Chains A and B, each alone.
Chain A
Amino acid sequence: MTIAEDAGLSPAGCLALLWPLLPEALVPPAIRETLERTAADLPPVPAVALEFRLVDDPTIDLHQLIEAEQRHLLPAYVAGRTATSPGEASLVAVLSDWMEDARGIPKLFLEWDRPGDGEATAPGVFLALDPPGATGDAARRKRIVALAERLSPGGWGIAAAAIDRVRQVLPTGASINFLGFMLGRDDALRVNIRHIRPDDFVTFLAAVGWPGDAVAASRHFEMLVRSCDRVTIALDFAPELQPTLGLEVFMESGPASEPRFARLFDHFEALGVCAPERRAALALLDARLLPEADGQDWPAAWAMAAAVRSDRDLPWLRVRLSHLKLSFDRHGTPSAKAYVAVRHFWSRGEAQARAPVPRSRHQARTAALEFLLERQGQDDLWRDFAIANGASDHWVTALVGFVLANQPDPRARDAADRARRALLRGRRGGGWGYNAASPPDADSTAWAIRFIRALDPADPAIVVAEAFLAAHFLPDGGLTTYAPTTAIRFVGNAVSRDDSGWRGRHDCVAANAASALTGAARARLLASLRGAQAADGSWRAYWWRHDVYSTALAIEALAAVEADGLGRALAWMRAQRPDNAFDLAWQMLALRHGGPADRDAASDLADRLAADQLADGSWSAGADMLFPDPATPHRAPEATCYPDLRRTYTTASALLALEAWR
């Protein structure tokens, strides 16, 4: 810990770097000064958010995030506080307690409503709760009891009644993720619930006794779930359950790589809860500020804190539109808010937070499965990667679904079956694409076929999809990603542009499709694959930085029909020294088809893979996808890669490999 210099990281620095990104009309100078004064008085944790109303209302609330790893900054702060109100005394008491023992409560959010409006205010305190089972329900409950009692006398009584009422009717997979004690609002309690699926929404609200119009709210909920990565439900107790409702809408990626933000704002504008000028000011906020960049100044205290850190530690700042919220008052009238998050990071801190937690193979399989189950969206899809068209859902879901369909755990099978139904609903022209905004393609469709077949070989969608896939053959017997009959239109282009690269021969796609097709089409593709093998034994990828994945898929497809003839390919694979879990997993899968020495080597790799797993059950992103210009015919050595930053594609691959070496 580096307490002394970190104490200089006042959250006011976040605001100093945020202001140049916001118009003065949105945050006038007087409000800026007020917010800075309030921020300067907060614990020295540089992670804040501003809460904006999306209509013409100047009110801005200030939030602060404190994670358990930052508790070392609290003792000096707490010791220096003199509470001036009962609310502030409660805050100091809860910080004092939590900084000693944060089990089950990995982070706190402090929320100041209308800071500086003249009234003696105390913040709302939101306790983040570990997912069920992570800490142990008894231990977690004990900590919540202690903190609730510090937040308000009798606070636990209200919280206990609300928690029990919600927990008794939670659908499978859903859980409480936040408890909010609204110290400034007559000790009201907010309960946030995650992982409610649209099919369960009305039933859940009815069962919990919510007195509003659940059917009307469900229409908004369904739309929001379709348009984002996660929607949480906020219920208010005071102490009875109130007819108000909040729907908090989260995206994993910032607006620059998440076009669905635009769809959400369109929805809010249509509802009349978002002013166009507010949208214009907030909707595209997505920046990484790096102090080495020309013209990028840094707060004085922050610069000095960086100077005294270790040689390899560097600061940077993330500013982004974090999430949106659609609220309904007691009359069902909607309103909307946007949250702009500003957070300072140390590069070494990130690396430490992501340090591997060595596990046995069995433990690694279990943890990976839990990670993937937890990451399934409320619309039953998985998402990963971030390119100009946003995250992938259908393509990624097809691969993850294929992996889970082959797992013995019944929960995996249930998740896979729900994903299958979601994919079938999203089918277009008999095939699937990168996501709903993208045309259907051969690779997504090949993974979807393999996935659906793993659950039900007789599913009629497979026959249709195989026909769609067969339309991607080129005259030379190879396969392309986008068929000649598939239209690809680009934003801003009135006339079609050169997309010959995306329609060229892609052996990485062919290698996958060879395991999806059947009969003569498969034989034709395998013959083509044999001819496409490079002199060194590999198969060149078009959409990937490395060739391990494409070569492993080719080996897998060819091994299904011929035991011999893979010598060169296996020799190439044997010589690879992957530096990431994704390639390691596919190397293991390929070496299964080699001799005893290869299989022994792959078994050793399984231990290495298990040892590299991160605490949350995932592996660091290693699936380095490329996103070439559509006219580019071949992979360029300097191509920018887009890894699976949510770690889903890599983790699914690792689980598949570990399962193969069970």
Chain B
Amino acid sequence: MSSGTERLRAAMDFLRQASAADVAGLPARVDYDALAERAAARGFETDAAAMAEAFRILVRMRLAHGGRASVARQKTATGQPWLRR
């Protein structure tokens, strides 16, 4: 059985090497087991927890490179409402 680090690395490698063909047939629900099975079918030994973590890391890496500037500007309002006098 591979270690947690190895499973995470495998999940990252799978996401990096994935192609459009890997999208087909996956469920449109939160199901990282399905992603892990797809990875296993491609020869990457991993699990659901590692897949979830790998996806989060992938997104955060893109974010660090300025991938979502437009959303970042759309702040939700904060502060304390004031009342009409």
Contacts and interface: CB of A to CB of B under 8 A. Distances in A.
Contacts of A5: 20, 23
Contacts of B41: none
Interface string B14-52: 011011111110111111101100100000000000011
Interface in A338-374: 345, 347-348, 350-351, 354
A437 interface: yes
A226 B13 CA distance: 55
Given A436-B84, A489-B83, A291 B75 contact: no
A300 B35 contact: yes
A305 B23 contact: yes
Contact of B55 (A40, A298, A387, A439): A298
Contact of A304 (B29, B35, B80): B35
A642 B21 CA distance: 42
A292 interface: yes
Interface stretch (A309-317, A324-332, A405-413, A561-569): A309-317
A347 B68 contact: yes
B85 A486 contact: yes
Contacts of A286: 76
Given A257-B77, A299-B28, A488 B85 contact: yes
A314 B80 contact: no
Contact of A10 (B28, B38, B77): B28
A308 B27 contact: no
Contacts of A12: 28-29
B74 interface: yes
A292 B60 contact: yes
A85 interface: no
A294 B60 CA distance: 11
A247 B28 CA distance: 34
Contact of A8 (B26, B52, B68): B26
B62 A312 contact: yes
Interface residues of A, number: 73
Q: Most chain-B CB neighbours within 10 Å: which of A286, A308, A315, A492? A: A308
B45 to A, nearest CB: 18
B26 A301 contact: yes
A531 B82 CA distance: 33
A627 interface: yes
A292 B63 contact: yes
A253 B80 CA distance: 17
A7 to B, nearest CB: 7
Contact of B77 (A36, A307, A387, A491): A387
Contact of B81 (A311, A314, A389, A428): A389
A483 B56 CA distance: 50
B70 A347 contact: yes
Contact of B56 (A253, A291, A312, A386): A291
B35 A645 contact: no
A388 interface: yes
B1 interface: no
Contact of B31 (A292, A300, A315): A300
A518 interface: no
A300 B30 contact: yes
A303 interface: yes
B79 A627 contact: yes
B27 to A, nearest CB: 5
Interface of A: 2, 4-5, 7-13, 16-17, 36, 40, 253, 256-257, 259, 286, 288, 290-292, 294, 297-308, 311-316, 345, 347-348, 350-351, 354, 386-389, 428, 436-439, 486-493, 621, 627, 629, 640-643, 645
Interface of B: 15-16, 18-24, 26-32, 34-35, 38, 51-52, 55-56, 58-60, 62-63, 65-71, 73-85
6 contacts: A286-B76, A292-B59, A300-B34, A304-B18, A304-B26, A627-B78
Given A292-B59, A304-B26, 5 more contacts: A303-B32, A308-B18, A312-B65, A621-B73, A642-B75
Q: List the 4 closest pairs (A to B, CB-CB), nearest first.
A: A4-B20, A257-B77, A8-B23, A10-B28
